[in-house]
Chain A
Amino acid sequence: MSKILLVEDEELNRTLVKAVLSRSTDPAVREAQVVDAISLAAARDHLAVEPVDLILLDMNLPDGNGLTLARELSAAGGPKPTVVALTASVLPQDRAAAIEAGCDDFLDKPYAAADLVATVSRHLPT
């Protein structure tokens, strides 16, 4: 069973992501274990304890920009989870910054449920 770390401070968005993933037709996605982190600090704490396969990373977090975490993971070297940026900042320079920080993929907010499932499905180990 794959593990997904959902780094998102808005409760509504966390509820939404979990509701969408749990209703997916793809069993890998449906059965994936989703763990919450409401801040960068919480995400770091979790990653220190338990590795995950995929990180769904919001950008505007209470203690900083999500890209900070992406950069830390890239700089750490070694095996790293796939990072998908979930962001409402959709200007070309925001995308460029996400790629430069080491995000593997990104999904613009607002996203369709099917797009979220497809993106997660694509990046989860089979």
Chain B
Amino acid sequence: MRIGWSALVLLAAEFTFAVLFLRALIGYLRRRDSLQGSVTLVFLPCTVVFCVDIARRIGSDLPPWVSIVSTTVLLAQPYLTVRLAARLRDVPRWLDRLVLCAYAALAIPIIKEPRPLDSAALIAVVAGFGLSEAVPAALLFGKARTRAGANRARLMIAAAATFAFAVMVFFIGVNGLWRGHPAVLAASRLLALASGVGYLVAFLPPRWLRHVFSASAAHQVTERLLRAPTESPAQVWQLYAEIMREQTGAGAVAVFMPRPDGQLAQTAFAGPPMDSHPELGPADLTALVRAGRPARLREGAPALIAHYGDPLGDDFVTLLGMPVPPDIEGAVLLFNQHRTLFSDDDLRLLAALGGQAGILAERQAVAEALNVSVDALTRANQAKTAFLANMSHELRTPLNAIIGFSDLMRVEEPEGDRRRVPAEWVDHIHTSGRHLLGLINDILDLAKVEAGRLDLRPAPLRVDTAATELLTGLSPLFSTKNIALCTDLPPVTAMADRVRFRQIVENLLSNAIKFTEPGGSVTVSTHQAGHEVYVSVADTGVGIAPEDQDRVFEEFQQVGDPDRQRAGTGLGLALTKRLVEAHGGEITLVSAPGEGSVFTVRLPAAPVDDLPRENHPAARLREQV
């Protein structure tokens, strides 16, 4: 038996298809995976033709029906390829039916017509087969275009191999018409081999080729991750999810990262809009990790179905572990409406690249923290500058009177070693000097509180007594301005520094007097509730608008009716608040414009054991006795 090179080419092609068929068959038998079953069916026709050809070559005299059967089976190849494509993507029902009808129409002349077929029948069969085969080729090509990386390359090659197969059949037809022209025969056999090799590369690629595909995909992903402008870890993960979706062609991608409590929480999601942010327990995930195979969503964890089931429909879900250096285990979930043919390499690689996204996210988190500190420092610096400018302004105001009036004194006519000056000038200088001193003391106190160096000596202090002493000292102010003073001072004892407590109440009282019209009243009251002592200063003054109520406690903020005479340093309430807080207490303000203000200071009460003798219940009892 002599075999020419062109026959060898055909044998090689047929052998290739047989290998592919066996490989797919083994895969199907092992895993009973319906997708593998479809692949097996695609390679079945060529394998049948191969077996018949081998049998014919080793000299068996085959009955004519064998040839008819093998040709009929071969003609089914386009339809079987369309069925495979339908598992990978949407294929319109009518297209599926059309290819099936074409197959039936082609099979009739093969079975019915006498051999050899006449030219018209041959042309019809060849043309019908070519057109039918072009359909799955186009479907695979269309699918390939939506994918990326190795997946895309392999689908493209599969589409090309399918097309080559169609062209091969065309050449066989031409060969039949021209009664065995050797060049046409050789071309058809070469195309058969090309088609076989194409399917081989697509379905059983050599390791080096898979590495080339993977490396190029990895390069693209890394480059995109690094190039995209991201500002926060959340943005990095979102970008990663979107790249994953594009690279894998998945319908949706969810990225999960562990939370401190061990549950996995969705960090990013790329896909149709969804409201919820599901959490997964480790148990939900183990249900999904099943030999790395895609599972139907309805077979997945209840949590997954609850969160993804409705919006995404009955999809396939693939779970991939995503190790993030140094020791975090995240997860990526891919949702697909269809199965993916060749994705394992890409998927594992892309999930591993999640680690890179993790490093990026980490870096973004550090940068974010840094930005926050820089912002805080900038704000602190601006606050310091504003404080200095305000302070300079406040110090210059009394100094203007001091320097101005003393300057005037210098140019008054001397009488011996003395000068005759208006007495009020001396008063102005003195008042301004006192004001300046008060300002400086307030600033120093404020600085001490800020630095935590306030020398506070809390001791049991009779609040009612201390308040009464203060009010006695301030009574001229009340009478001058015709403001009534009401008191409600039952004996209560707080833990407070005597000097600072006086300062607190004095600040509140001078504010109350300042902002109360003649004829109004100021009420000072104390009471104890549990372990706390409350001191309130209420006035019938102008009141403070709600939007200003926080600002009154800031340095150099004077709020309220602008037509009022301004006085004071703008530091009093800021300092008062800090002094109260240094005691472990709190100052609150209740006020409405036109209805007066109530400032209430809460201070810790003195423990019963520490009460001064006169306030001790036993001592009081003795007094009464």
Contact = CB atoms under 8 A, between A and B. Distances in A.
B401 A16 contact: yes
A105 B399 CA distance: 21
Contacts of A16: 400-401, 404-405, 408, 428
A110 B566 CA distance: 19
A10 to B, nearest CB: 7
Contacts of B394: 88
B401 A12 contact: yes
Interface string B553-565: 0000000001111
A10 B405 CA distance: 14
Nearest to A86: B400
Nearest to A17: B404
Nearest to B390: A89
Contact of A9 (B389, B401, B402, B565): B565
B389 A62 contact: no
B425 A19 contact: yes
B408 A110 contact: no
B562 A110 contact: no
A44 interface: no
A15 interface: yes
Contacts of A13: 400-401, 404
Given A10-B397, A13-B400, A15-B428, A90 B392 contact: yes
Given A13-B401, A16-B401, A20-B408, A109 B396 contact: yes
Interface in B407-446: 407-408, 411, 424-425, 428, 431-432
Contacts of A112: 403, 407
Contacts of A114: 407
A110 B396 contact: yes
Contacts of A10: 397
A63 B396 contact: no
B562 A63 contact: yes
Nearest to B412: A23
Contacts of B397: 10, 88, 109
A91 interface: yes
A110 B399 contact: yes
A60 B411 CA distance: 29
Interface string A8-40: 011011011001100100000000000000010
A23 B396 contact: no
Nearest to B393: A88
A2 B397 CA distance: 28
Nearest to B397: A88
B394 to A, nearest CB: 8
Contacts of B564: 62
A94 to B, nearest CB: 8
B597 to A, nearest CB: 19
The CB with the most chain A CB atoms within 10 A, among B399, B404, B428, is that of B404
Nearest to B385: A91
A111 B406 CA distance: 11
B22 to A, nearest CB: 85
B556 to A, nearest CB: 11
A13 B397 CA distance: 9
A90 B396 contact: yes
Given A12-B428, A12-B432, A23-B408, A110 B563 contact: no
A106 to B, nearest CB: 13
B249 to A, nearest CB: 59
A97 interface: no
Interface string A62-103: 111000000000000000000000001111000000000000
Contacts of B396: 88, 90, 108-110
Contacts of A60: 393, 566
Interface in B531-558: none
Contact of A62 (B392, B403, B562): B562
Contacts of A19: 405, 408, 425
A9 B558 CA distance: 15
A109 to B, nearest CB: 4
Contact of A111 (B393, B404, B424, B431): B404
A62 B565 contact: yes
A113 interface: yes
Contacts of A15: 424, 428
B400 A109 contact: yes
Contacts of B393: 60, 88-89
A113 B407 contact: yes
B538 to A, nearest CB: 25
B400 to A, nearest CB: 4
B392 A88 contact: yes
Contacts of A108: 396
B400 A62 contact: no
Report which residue of B399, B405, B432 has the largest number of chain A beta carbons within 10 angstroms of its beta carbon. Answer: B405
Contacts of A12: 401, 428, 431-432
Nearest to B427: A12
A62 B566 contact: yes
Q: In this complex, which of A60, A109, A111 has the most chain B Cβ atoms within 10 angstroms of its Cβ?
A: A109
Nearest to B424: A15
Contacts of B405: 16, 19
Contact of A91 (B389, B399, B428): B389
A17 to B, nearest CB: 8
B570 to A, nearest CB: 11
Contacts of A109: 396-397, 399-400
Nearest to B388: A91
Nearest to B564: A62
Contacts of A20: 404, 407-408
B404 A110 contact: yes
Contacts of A91: 389, 392
Nearest to A39: B563
Contacts of A9: 565-566
Nearest to B431: A12
Given A23-B411, A64-B562, A113-B408, A88 B400 contact: yes
B244 to A, nearest CB: 52
A96 to B, nearest CB: 14
Interface of B: 389, 392-394, 396-397, 399-405, 407-408, 411, 424-425, 428, 431-432, 562-566
Q: Which 10 A-B pairs rank lowest in CB-CB distance, beginning with the nearest? A: A88-B396, A110-B400, A113-B407, A109-B400, A110-B403, A16-B404, A110-B399, A88-B393, A12-B401, A62-B562
Given A12-B431, A16-B400, 4 more contacts: A12-B428, A12-B432, A88-B392, A90-B392
30 contacts: A9-B566, A12-B432, A13-B400, A13-B401, A16-B428, A20-B404, A23-B408, A39-B563, A62-B565, A63-B562, A63-B563, A64-B562, A89-B389, A89-B392, A89-B393, A90-B396, A91-B392, A108-B396, A109-B399, A109-B400, A110-B396, A110-B400, A110-B402, A110-B404, A111-B400, A112-B403, A112-B407, A113-B407, A113-B408, A114-B407
